[in-house]
Amino acid sequence: MSKALDGVRILDFTHVQSGPTCTQLLAWFGADVIKVERAGAGDITREQLRDIPDVDSLYFTMLNHNKRSVTIDTKNPEGKQVLEALIQKCDVLVENFAPGALDRMGFTWERIQELNPRMIVASVKGFGPGPYEDCKVYENVAQCAGGAASTTGFDDGPPVVSGAQIGDSGTGLHLALGIVTALYQRTQTGRGQKVLAAMQDGVLNLCRVKLRDQQRLERTGTMKEYPQYPNGTFGEAVPRAGNASGGGQPGWILKCKGWETDPNAYIYFITQAPVWAKICNVIGKEEWATDPNYATPAARLPHLKDIFAEIERWTMTKTKFEAMQILNKYDIPCGPILSMKEIAEEPSLRKTGTIVEVDHPTRGKYLTVGNPIKLSDSPTEVKRSPLLGEHTDEVMTELGYSPEQIRALRTAGAI
Ligand code: COA
């Protein structure tokens, strides 16, 4: 079966996490992704957090599936020429170097346009134009600068970063959308363009509801679904809301049977208004369905802590999966807190290709997260990540270099 991005060639100049997540998605959709790395070293993540000596780390392998790897020293004059040839052949150049690195290499937007006016140049940077535009940025910096950390955690504790890599992988996703959009526009204009996804912007986009709350707070001085209501105090900025739901239906994380020894024996419970009477029945508080102090969403807001404490008395008598089964029967929205171990072992995720077992020549079998976006006409086949420079000769031959020329370039340290 053909793939959605068949025929699209990506010059993948990305490293670490944010850029590689983007180009991995494009590769899963069928693009030919050619990852350019430095000979001898490669993407720094190849050797970071290694669990097997001298073998590409899971960090690298899980972010670089379905790509080809070529080694080019882009600071070597002959290496630069090879990169130029690649720029002329490719549709998109994706990079997430520190600000200015591509220009310092000699590949300014103007130069790239000279070489290939159809080229889309897509970049992840920590910040957009402004006071921090020259800063190097990693995941947690973006979470802090994008509003996620100040709004995550409990009111009586410090800011907390999320385990979800919303700064890196989140921005990679944003960039991928920008790239396919630019490719679409190119079909009308024939021109390339620059695509920028700043990590601060990507995180803020995912924290949109907190900017919503900032404005609500400024207007009304309170937010009744936050745990600070009714007894705590609100300051000038959106406070940390613990596990309160970010939407209009109050929710909280509740203990389940076994919580004393299992750190993940919890369930997320949402007191959705349309099923309130069913919730009252399930937990044995039938009288709350008609009690004016509890019968309406507005009446319940000042009592949310007590309500969740009462529901928790019920959830603590059930495992999270038993509770799920019972609550689902009544359409009461809830979700188990799943550990990574449980997720890795979940058969339905294996079946859909969301968790995939991959074989690697030096590592052996490992698990990875497959493509979370499923296209019915472009199914994803997850292929192992490339070894460093595995495809250098192949790609050089496609660019028209002879075996002798390839040998000479290798001797000169250009590839
Ligand atoms: N041949 C020759 N030189 C190469 C090369 C190649 N194939 N590939 C990279 N380089 C050079 C670059 O030109 C750069 O050189 P310069 O500093 O002399 O200009 C150098 O390698 C290092 O690049 P840099 O991006 O500065 O790496 P770093 O390890 O110091 O910083 C980050 C890493 C992630 C902090 C930085 O790249 C960054 O801020 N990126 C943008 C934001 C981002 O994506 N962050 C999230 C990462 S998950």
Residue 164 beta carbon below 6 angstroms from any ligand 1 atom? no
Residue with tokens 């955690």: 153
| Distance of CA 131 from the midpoint of ligand 1 (Å) | 20
Q: What backbone phi and psi angles, to 5 degrees, belong to 194?
A: -90, 140
**Model pTM greater than 0.85?**
yes
Q: Would you place residue 204 in the very low, low, confident or very high pLDDT band (cuts 50, 70, 90)?
A: very high
* Strand-strand pairing, 9-13 and 32-37: parallel
Q: Would you place residue 246 in the very low, low, confident or very high pLDDT band (cuts 50, 70, 90)?
A: confident
Structural tokens at position 310: 């009462």
CA pair distance 344, 82, nearest whole angstrom = 42
Burial of 155 (0-12, 13-18, 19+ CB in 10 A): middle
Residue 164 has pLDDT above 90, yes or no: yes
- Per-residue model confidence as pLDDT tens digits over 313-364: 999 999 999 999 999 999 999 999 999 999 999 999 999 999 999 999 999 9
Is there a contact between 238 and 150 (Cβ–Cβ < 8 Å)? yes
CA pair distance 311, 308, nearest whole angstrom = 5
pLDDT value of position 245: 87
| Residue with CA nearest ligand 1 atom 20 | 101
Structural tokens at position 329: 């029967």
Closest C-alpha to 195, from 128, 98, 143? 128
pLDDT value of position 152: 98
Burial of 105 (0-12, 13-18, 19+ CB in 10 A): middle
DSSP 296: S
| Distance of CA 74 from the midpoint of ligand 1 (Å) | 12
- Per-residue model confidence as pLDDT tens digits over 181-190: 999 999 999 9
Structural tokens at position 233: 């105090």
Task: Tell me how long the chain is.
Answer: 415
For ligand 1, mutation pick of 57, 97, 166 (most atoms within 8 Å of CB): 97
Residue 41 beta carbon below 6 angstroms from any ligand 1 atom? no
125, 199, 281 from 136: Cα distances, Å:
8, 11, 54
| Distance of CA 44 from the midpoint of ligand 1 (Å) | 10
Residue 374 beta carbon below 6 angstroms from any ligand 1 atom? no
Residue 135 beta carbon below 6 angstroms from any ligand 1 atom? no
- The string of DSSP letters for 136-175 reads ---HHHHHHHTTTGGGSS-TTS-----SS-TTTHHHHHHH
Q: Give the nearest ligand 1 atom to 136 CA.
A: 39
| Residue with CA nearest ligand 1 atom 31 | 98
CA pair distance 348, 279, nearest whole angstrom = 28
For ligand 1, mutation pick of 11, 76, 84, 136 (most atoms within 8 Å of CB): 136
Residue 256 has pLDDT above 90, yes or no: yes
The per-residue pLDDT of the chain, averaged, comes to 97
Give catalytic status of residue 134 as yes or no: no
Structural tokens at position 27: 């590769």
CA pair distance 318, 130, nearest whole angstrom = 52
Residue 1 has pLDDT above 90, yes or no: no
Burial of 215 (0-12, 13-18, 19+ CB in 10 A): exposed
CA pair distance 215, 195, nearest whole angstrom = 30
Percent of the chain with pLDDT over 90: 98
Residue 40 has pLDDT above 90, yes or no: no
Residue 75 beta carbon below 6 angstroms from any ligand 1 atom? yes
Residue 17 beta carbon below 6 angstroms from any ligand 1 atom? yes
Q: What backbone phi and psi angles, to 5 degrees, belong to 148?
A: -75, -45
Radius of gyration (C-alpha) of the chain in whole angstroms: 26
43, 102, 267 from 81: Cα distances, Å:
21, 15, 57
Mean pLDDT calculated for residue range 17-40: 97
Q: Would you place residue 237 in the very low, low, confident or very high pLDDT band (cuts 50, 70, 90)?
A: very high
Structural tokens at position 392: 């250098």
Residues β-bridged to residue 357? 367
| Distance of CA 97 from the midpoint of ligand 1 (Å) | 4
Residue 138 beta carbon below 6 angstroms from any ligand 1 atom? yes
Residue 213 gets the label, from left (phi > 0), alpha (psi -120 to 50) or beta, of alpha
**How remote is the C-alpha of 389 from its chain's centroid?**
26
CA pair distance 172, 187, nearest whole angstrom = 23
Structural tokens at position 42: 């490669």
**How remote is the C-alpha of 361 from its chain's centroid?**
27
Any alpha helices (H) in 190-251, and if so which ranges? 199-206, 208-220
SS3 154: coil
DSSP H or E stretch at residue 57: none
Q: Give the nearest ligand 1 atom to 20 CA.
A: 48
The catalytic position among 12, 43, 56, 168 is: 168
Q: Would you place residue 154 in the very low, low, confident or very high pLDDT band (cuts 50, 70, 90)?
A: very high
| Omega of the bond leading into 230 within 30 degrees of 0 (cis) | yes
pLDDT value of position 247: 83
| Distance of CA 101 from the midpoint of ligand 1 (Å) | 7
Q: Would you place residue 92 in the very low, low, confident or very high pLDDT band (cuts 50, 70, 90)?
A: very high
